[in-house]
A = this chain, B = another copy of it.
Amino acid sequence: MRTLLVCISLLFSIFHYTMSQNIPRNNSKVTLVIHGGAGTITKSSMTPEKELAYKEKLAEALKAGYNIMMKGGTSIEAVVATIKILEDSPLFNAGKGAVYTNEGKNELDASIMDGNSHQAGAVAGVTTIKNPIEAALAIMNNSPHVMMVGRGAEEFAVSQGVEVVAPSYFHTKDRYEQLQKVLGSDTTKLDQSIESEPEGKLGQFNDEKFGTVGAVALDQYGNLAAGTSTGGMTNKKFGRIGDSPIIGAGTYADNSSCAVSATGHGEYFIKEVVAYDIAALMKYSRLTVKEAAEKVILEKLSKINAEGGVIALDKNGNISMPFNTAGMYRGYIQKEGNPNVFIYKD
């Protein structure tokens, strides 16, 4: 009897191995696109050193995700690994570089969506999770829910082994100084134009007003994925949720249309259901990913003075990265394996 079970088990293993070899793979379509926020990012407000630091970090993130997918990893794995690198860098308003609320706290939001299974996970208003994208992933994979907020989200993340840090981990001197500049005005950073600030006054950072990081990926199995992570807006009222953790607004992925991650004035992106609107224009109006993304960002949002941008990717590896601000940290990598990174309108 035991021998029989071993034989059956062996046959199953051989069967599964054979099947896994038959999964259609197409390395040539492996694509990863990322953004690190959009805003008043101009050449005149940059130093060569800062520009290099941003470009190097974007390239590092692109290569990390790309390598995962070239080794057979999924688009979800690539999106998470890529976003973690951006979260861990103080250059971007997500994870370690998060801005401060008007209470002097860092509240973080993130979301992820799998274009194949159509599963999704999101966290909002968390203050102790080192990599919010990991918590979003845990919710997607291991909970019956899609979106969790605050302490409830943190407790769930802890139960899943997601790394927790003291809130002070997110303290960065330059972000704190950003808050002090706007405190007392009761305006969020969004409302404040600092384009005329003398160069360098904001320390390490330019005015990436809508600092958010995101990634969209297409793996060799033909599956799309999207993820977004943010520290929100400087001086936002605590408890405010932007578009980043909202499926359909800041993040969306569906193999039948596209994967999208957004960065911008979150309130408008929620009301205009930006990420899903791009997918809907592809599905229902038969636009290409480029036409759909540009229509939403350059026409619809520009018309109502809503600033920001998106990265979008379809199942054939077609990329679009439109934005209606001065700049958007962004980049992509495809089969050749060379990261292409950009900051300004080129």
Q: Which residues of B contact A284 (CB under 8 A)?
A: 280-281, 284-285
Do A148 and B240 touch (CB < 8 A)? yes
- Residue A149 at the chain B interface, CB threshold 8 Å: yes
- Residue A99 at the chain B interface, CB threshold 8 Å: no
Docked CA distance A271–B240 (Å) = 21
A53-85 contact mask (Cβ, 8 Å, vs B): 1 or 0: 000000000000000000000000000000000
Do B144 and A191 touch (CB < 8 A)? yes
Give the residue of B119, B124, B152, B155 whose beta carbon is less than 8 angstroms from that of A271. Answer: B119
Of A2-10, A244-252, A337-345, which stretch is located at the interface? A244-252
CB of A293 to closest CB in B, whole Å: 15
Main secondary structure of the interface of A (DSSP, over half): mixed
Do A239 and B146 touch (CB < 8 A)? no
Size category, A interface:
35 or more
Do B248 and A146 touch (CB < 8 A)? no
- Residue A162 at the chain B interface, CB threshold 8 Å: no
Q: Which residues of B contact A155 (CB under 8 A)?
A: 239
Docked CA distance A249–B155 (Å) = 26
Do B148 and A239 touch (CB < 8 A)? yes
A117-158 contact mask (Cβ, 8 Å, vs B): 1 or 0: 011100011000000000000000001111111111101100
Do A239 and B152 touch (CB < 8 A)? yes
- Knowing A152-B239, A276-B276, A281-B284, say if A270 contacts B119 (CB, 8 Å): no
- Knowing A248-B270, A276-B248, say if A149 contacts B241 (CB, 8 Å): yes
Chain B minimum-CB-distance residue to A191: B144
Chain B minimum-CB-distance residue to A123: B239
Do B237 and A156 touch (CB < 8 A)? yes
Shortest Cβ-Cβ A-B pairs, 6 listed: A152-B239, A284-B284, A280-B280, A248-B273, A152-B238, A147-B241
Known: A120-B270, A246-B246. 9 other contacts (CB 8 A): A145-B236, A145-B237, A146-B266, A146-B270, A147-B240, A147-B246, A247-B271, A273-B276, A284-B284
Q: What are 22 of the A-B contact pairs (CB < 8 Å)?
A: A113-B271, A118-B271, A125-B150, A145-B240, A147-B241, A147-B246, A148-B237, A149-B149, A149-B239, A150-B239, A151-B239, A152-B240, A156-B239, A246-B246, A246-B248, A247-B271, A248-B248, A248-B270, A252-B273, A276-B277, A280-B284, A284-B285
